[in-house]
Amino acid sequence: MRLVMLLMVMGWSVCYLSSVNAQPKGKGDTESAIDKLAKDLRNPNRNVRLKAVQKLGQLEGADKDRVSMLLCDAILDPEPTISKTALQLLENVYPELYKYIVVIVLDDDIRNKEQAIRGLSKMGTKARPATRLLHKVIISRIIKLRGLFCDDFEEACFDALREMEAYDLETLNFMKDIILTREITYRDQVVYITEDYKILALEYLVEWADTDQLKRKELIPLLKVGLGYREGKLLMKSIEISGSYGELAADLLPLLKEHKLSSNAKIREAASKAVEKIAKR
């Protein structure tokens, strides 16, 4: 359901879904001013939003990352004047980030966009203000391509988020929703989310969880989604991860045992190995 709501990213409201809560509040007058402007950026009145963007660019001594994050959000505003103003101000506030964002937002050549996204990857955590902008890029590509396939460009987006270490709650939920959502309706058309996107999202979450047992436990329902497939890459990836989780994946044994009876030899073999690993621990 949340991913359906994310389609509203084409409009201003979701772009600022958690602008206020995404960062901890500061103590000084400058931080209080940023809190107020973050709230104004979610105002339905475009004039209020425009003034908020302009004031963001005039703040002195403000947290560069937070101001940059809000400007990146404002770049997604459907009102061209607001979007353009935010982009221009980002150049002054964070020129290193701007040189990539301007390409991602304005360039017509997908190859240039991909190179810019890889530039964000090289920035690492310094590019974290662009997190929600990359959410929008991924959703836009799913819609544009009708979810039929993903290629190097999409992989670059997920890689950039990974290099940013964007493990905030909003991004984690974004990844979970990609896996949990089979199809979405956009402008009266059904868009399917293919296995390739789900695998990218699953790999992202597996890296986030690492060896933390509590985090891994959060992924069990997502592995059930993959194990619900009868064949394909997502099924094989889910079987592999389930086995590596050992006894933590005990709830997945019934599904894995079903796949031991698959007509596909590779699936049978993979499922058998996973069951053995879980049972041993």
CATH code of the domain in which 238 resides = 1.25.10
Which of 163, 185, 209 is the C-terminal boundary of a domain?
209
How far apart CA 178 and CA 180 sit, in angstroms, is 6
H-type alpha helices, 57-124: 64-75, 80-93, 95-106, 110-123
Report residue 220 as tokens.
Answer: 């069990």
> Is the same domain home to 111 and 226?
no
> 11-36: per-residue pLDDT in tens?
433 333 333 334 444 445 667 889 99
Task: Count up the domains in the chain and report the number.
Answer: 2
> Is the same domain home to 48 and 85?
yes
> Is the same domain home to 54 and 187?
yes
Bigger pLDDT: 145 vs 222: 222
> Is the same domain home to 142 and 89?
yes
> Is the same domain home to 158 and 34?
yes
Give percent of the chain above pLDDT 70: 88
CA dist 177 → 17, 152, 171, 189, 281 (Å): 16, 21, 10, 19, 30
Number of Cβ within 10 Å of residue 227's Cβ equals 22
pLDDT at 4 over 70: no
pLDDT, mean over the chain: 89
Contact between residue 225 and residue 237 where contact means Cβ atoms under 8 Å apart: no
Residues in the chain: 281
> 71-83: per-residue pLDDT in tens?
999 999 999 999 9
pLDDT value of residue 61: 76
> Is the same domain home to 243 and 190?
no
> Is the same domain home to 204 and 257?
no
The residue behind tokens 């868009």 is 191
> 175-219: per-residue pLDDT in tens?
999 999 988 887 788 888 999 999 999 999 999 999 999 999 999
> Is the same domain home to 134 and 185?
yes
pLDDT at 5 over 80: no
How far apart CA 84 and CA 19 sit, in angstroms, is 19
> Is the same domain home to 153 and 45?
yes
> 51-99: per-residue pLDDT in tens?
999 999 988 778 899 999 999 999 999 999 999 999 999 999 999 999 9
How confident is residue 147, by pLDDT bands cut at 50, 70 and 90? low
Number of Cβ within 10 Å of residue 139's Cβ equals 22
> Is the same domain home to 15 and 116?
yes
Which of 190, 209, 228 is the C-terminal boundary of a domain?
209
Which of 169, 189, 209 is the C-terminal boundary of a domain?
209
Contact between residue 25 and residue 31 where contact means Cβ atoms under 8 Å apart: yes
Bigger pLDDT: 4 vs 123: 123
CA dist 267 → 24, 27, 272 (Å): 47, 56, 8
Which residue range is the domain that position 279 belongs to?
A: 214-281
> Is the same domain home to 103 and 66?
yes
Q: What is the pTM of this model?
A: 0.86
> Is the same domain home to 267 and 226?
yes
